[in-house]
Amino acid sequence: MTSIKPFLDNSSEATKFEDIIDLLIIGSGPAGYTAAIYASRAGLNPILYQGKEPGGQLTITSDVENYPGYPNGIQGPEMMLDFQKQAERFGTIVKGGFIKSVDFSKYPFEIIDDNDKILIVNSVIISTGASAKWLGLESEKKFNGNGVSACAVCDGFFFKDQIVAVVGGGDTAAEESLYLSKITKKVFLIVRRNELRASKIMQKRVFDNKNIEIIWNSEVKDVLGDDKVDSVLVLNNSNNTTSKLNISGLFIAIGHKPNTDIFKNYIDLDDNGYILTKPGTTQTNIKGVFATGDAQDKIYRQAVTAAGSGCMGALEAEKFLSENNLS
């Protein structure tokens, strides 16, 4: 883990900077805002940059019914506005821009925002999340939140006893299909190739499930419907024929991409770009830099788990600043 000792051994260095930010939070999903709530209540005066997608993936989620405290459910964008208001209530400064680059090779850290403003920072919480990979169809965007989803656990309940389709051939698609098979009438698994890429055990579970029908060598070319999805146009890429598949919900399960590119020269990442943290913590390989939410969680990817890790990040940042006499 990179040490900050050279800076700490020479406290006069701090006088070189007039406006050192004690804690910068990058990202504004449940993880970022929860970190901001805890940090601001602890008197750390955090500054939070919302990023290019303020509110994260929940802003494209219609009904959120599995987050504690909302017995009647809540719209995703409204929920994230509640998070923001709560963070601001305790003094968090929320910025509408995004972070363009970071330099974690020096201390204090040097970070540049979208207006090319240089920020001098004592500690950082990364909450940049992960973005679902999409098919890239205009109709897919049109029905996002109205029949098109990238999270079966989040939205599967709304399609109870209905017919749905899942797109993908890896473990994510297999997991989504198996989950949906328990609550829907039927699941079509649309696979682009003539085989699954999922692990052998996941393949067996899919093949053994009578509620899942695999459509091989096929791609979704269009999502159809008026106000909500009622069917998809499917191309068989082996014989170039198209057919219409009547469904109520379409789940895209071709993977997620963590939004971590700007950190890759400094922070240890796994092969898929997720930030590696010390087990049981939010600590990265750089002292004073913490990672929370979906940027480091490729397993659960839920709002409530992201919020929990945001709390952890804030508590660990507070401890770091206190132990090093930086706040």
Where exactly are the structural domains of the chain?
5-132+256-323, 138-252
Q: pLDDT tens digit string along 113-142?
A: 999 999 999 999 999 999 889 999 999 999
Q: Which of 124, 116, 137, 127 is nearest to 31 (CA)?
A: 127
Burial degree of 316 (CB within 10 A; 0-12, 13-18, 19+)? buried
pLDDT at 17: 47
What is the helix (H) or strand (E) element at residue 191, kind and residue range?
Answer: none
* pTM for the structure as a whole: 0.78
- CATH 3.40.1180.10 assigned to 138-252: no
The helix/strand/coil state of 16 is: helix
Which of the residues are catalytic? 151, 154-155
Which fold is adopted by the domain 5-132+256-323? FAD/NAD(P)-binding domain (3.50.50)
Q: Would the CATH topology of 5-132+256-323 be identical to that of 138-252?
A: yes
190's tokens: 């649309």
Q: What tens digit of pLDDT does each residue of 214-254 get? A: 999 999 999 999 999 999 999 999 999 999 999 999 999 99
Q: Give the number of other Cβ atoms within 10 Å of residue 15's Cβ.
A: 8
Q: Which helix (H) or strand (E) holds 72?
A: none
> Which tokens is 152 given?
């079966």
